[in-house]
Amino acid sequence: MHTAAPRASGARFLRVLAAASALAVFNACGGDEAPKPAPQAAPSAASSGSASTGAGAARQTPATAPTPAPTARRDLVDEAAARGLDYRNRSGEAAKRTVLEANGGGVAVLDLENDGDLDLVFTQGCESLDALLRGPGADVEVFLNDGRGQFRRAKSPGLSGWWTGIAAGDLDNDGDSDLVVGGFGALRVLLQNERGELVLGPDLMPDDPHLRLTPGEKREAGHPPLWVSSLALLDADRDGVLDVYVGQYLELDPVAPPIGKLGEGVLAAPCEWKGYEVYCGPHGMKPQPDRFLRGVGDGSFVDDTARALPGHVAGFTLAVAPFDFEGDGDSDVYVANDSVANLMLINDGRGVFTDVAYSAGVAVSMDGRAEAGMGAAFGDVDRDGDFDFALTNFSGEPTALYFANPRGFSNETFRFGLQRETRALLSWSVHLVDFDGDARLELFTSNGHVYPQADLADTGTRYGQAASLWRLFARGAERRLERVAPSGPESLLAPELGARGSAIGDFDGDGAPDLVLSRIDGPVALGMNRFGKANWLVVRCKGPLRSESAPAGAQGRTGADAIGARVIVVPAVASGEEEFALLARVEPSVGYQSSSSPWLHFGLGASESYTSVRVLWPSGRVEDLGPGRAGRRITIAEGRGVVQEEPLK
């Protein structure tokens, strides 16, 4: 991500800092005061400021905010305010004096209350690093969906810290979704109770007390806490219990960070970017090694790092994306590293991983340079039955698109023209999703620079950047790229505010995937899918609960929420037309610091029906289902076929 180089002197940063109102006085994390907006830099890091209500309170739709009627726009239209979603991200000071403040927060899409609609949980930081040390820390923010895509703020679980990565899944196999959240000096399980509330579960921090950061407790300098960037839930050993890959970033001492005191002749930051003093990191700082935690089945975990990641080398991890590289049903892991080579970790079937990134062609750029990997996502772009993937990078480094081949991957970035279109962007979260239902995937990236000084430097980039959406077309040797233009100021693609985490989910039940976007120091965006009518099939996969026996004939076991299940849908085509298949995998942990819905969305193009659905379960069982019509959401239970079918709204 960050490429600042150390320097010894200079005063330009002090002038920028003053312009950014960095000398404002802040209360603790939960206070009402917020940084004042910088005239030439970042948007305000305002507090969310709304009182919480109990999660068990009766659902209600605000009278002043009726659910918006669908429009004819071919776009993702931001309807957050109209739908009651009033969350604002907090990520430190506007001037960004430390690397911690630049990384922003994530979001999880999951079904709280187990009522069939999708809710939201956001991670966030504090108003400043000093505020974190004084305490109390920040909590995660919870919003419940009324079933029509209208949201209300609910009770938070009572966390205290600076939160970054988040991952959702059924950790105890009881049929509902739980969470793992990580941050700066904290890693915690949140379990969903019978009332749909998130309650504190096991603390997953190592025994070393120096790695823990408790807001408000006196802390000595010289002990950088553990810093969790992104989390991924996967069943590495196929025992039906979810494990956690913990991506960790770098060592940052919160008591004595690499910044100077604000004052005459003293640097506020001893590092340089494009001639401007900026915060330091990651160059010159020490990375933290990733960890692997094996699930027990009751929401608790044991540290299995030594066995699962032999020979692991720390690499400034920013994103972790599970997928199936070999097509053998195991969960492999791609790790996007900041400024060092990325990792492609192949699973041996028992949860032991080996890095093959260099031999697979995905460790470094085409010219052999380590890039600043930010986010990663997988999808079958060319519809050939295997997973391709997209990787976002720092400004000056294009978003990369890789196609799978028998030997590994080929870099298709230049052939698509992404090198020209994305080089000026600094991109974070990424998705390969069919938004318009034409049976082809689009490429989405959240964008925004890490340095407020980008607005002052003559580099062709800016601090605030709009999100991007491209249509991709690949058939044989043909490659085409088309950027989707915002339809108006209400478009999620229009505001140049800068963003970090994002996640996919169908929030109004119409079958079309929507997108939630966490903007750094700014208001959340809820991009409702307004690409027009399409033929959608939504598939929800379920494995057996802990109280149920595994289906006969299974080699292993599938977890209750079937993370890792592969689904293949064959749309019905007219006589003489070329047949094709659509491939997806239940993998919520993609993008950047976020977790998407486990429901799979298949746009069938011109087809109003499908000829078959095949499910390859993590247990090893293969299940073939017959034909059906579009416009449905079907729930498939392993060994029992379709157990629920309902029309889309």
pLDDT tens sequence across 542-569: 999 988 988 887 788 999 999 999 999 9
**Residue 4, pLDDT score:** 62
pLDDT band at 52 (very low <50, low <70, confident <90, very high): very low
Residue 375 pLDDT greater than 80, yes or no: yes
**Residue 444, pLDDT score:** 98
Q: pTM to 2 decimals?
A: 0.90
**Residue 10, pLDDT score:** 35
DSSP state of 444: E
**Residue 57, pLDDT score:** 36
Alpha-carbon distance of 649 to 192, in angstroms, equals 27
Per-residue pLDDT tens digits for 110-138: 999 999 999 999 999 999 999 999 999 99
Alpha-carbon distance of 553 to 556, in angstroms, equals 9
Mean pLDDT across 496-518: 97
Residue 255 pLDDT greater than 50, yes or no: yes
Burial 28-62 (b: 16+ CB within 10 A, else e): bbbeeebbebbeebbbbbbbbeeeeeebeeeeebe
Tokens of 132: 């974190």
Count the neighbouring beta carbons within 10 Å of the beta carbon of residue 327: 12
**Residue 561, pLDDT score:** 95
**Residue 238, pLDDT score:** 95
pLDDT band at 73 (very low <50, low <70, confident <90, very high): low
Average pLDDT, rounded, for the chain? 89
Mean pLDDT across 350-363: 97
* 646, 633 Cβ separation under 8 angstroms: yes
Residue labelled with tokens 């698509």: 416
**Residue 294, pLDDT score:** 98
Mean pLDDT across 493-505: 97
Count the neighbouring beta carbons within 10 Å of the beta carbon of residue 259: 18
**Residue 173, pLDDT score:** 95
**Residue 493, pLDDT score:** 97
Residue 46 pLDDT greater than 60, yes or no: no
**Residue 269, pLDDT score:** 62
**Residue 259, pLDDT score:** 80
| pLDDT > 90 in the chain, percent | 79
**Residue 177, pLDDT score:** 96
**Residue 268, pLDDT score:** 58
Residue 33 pLDDT greater than 60, yes or no: no
Per-residue pLDDT tens digits for 256-274: 998 865 444 445 567 888 8
Residue 400 pLDDT greater than 70, yes or no: yes
Least confident of 51-55, 586-590, 626-630: 51-55
Burial 214-248 (b: 16+ CB within 10 A, else e): bbeeebeeebbbbbbbbbbbbbbbbbbbbbbbbbb
Tokens of 206: 């190592």
